[in-house]
Amino acid sequence: MRDMLKRIVLVIFVLLLLTAVSGFFYMQKHPLEGSRSGKILNFSGQHSK
């Protein structure tokens, strides 16, 4: 029981770490210039204009 709980916490931690790192690199590649300008990002990777 305790071993399974440790594994779940580790998986959640790794997923959060991967999300943070990928978000950091995405922000480096696409800096926010006027994020309030109404530009909508689709998750399919296409910028709606």
Q: Where are the domains positioned within the chain?
A: 2-48
pLDDT single digits (tens) 1-49: 899 999 999 999 999 999 999 999 888 887 776 555 555 555 655 555 5
**Structure tokens given for 33:** 């210039």
User: pTM higher than 0.85, yes or no?
Assistant: no
- CA triplet 37, 42, 23: central angle to 5 degrees? 85
- Whole-number pLDDT of residue 31: 73
Q: How far is CA 16 from the centre of its chain?
A: 8
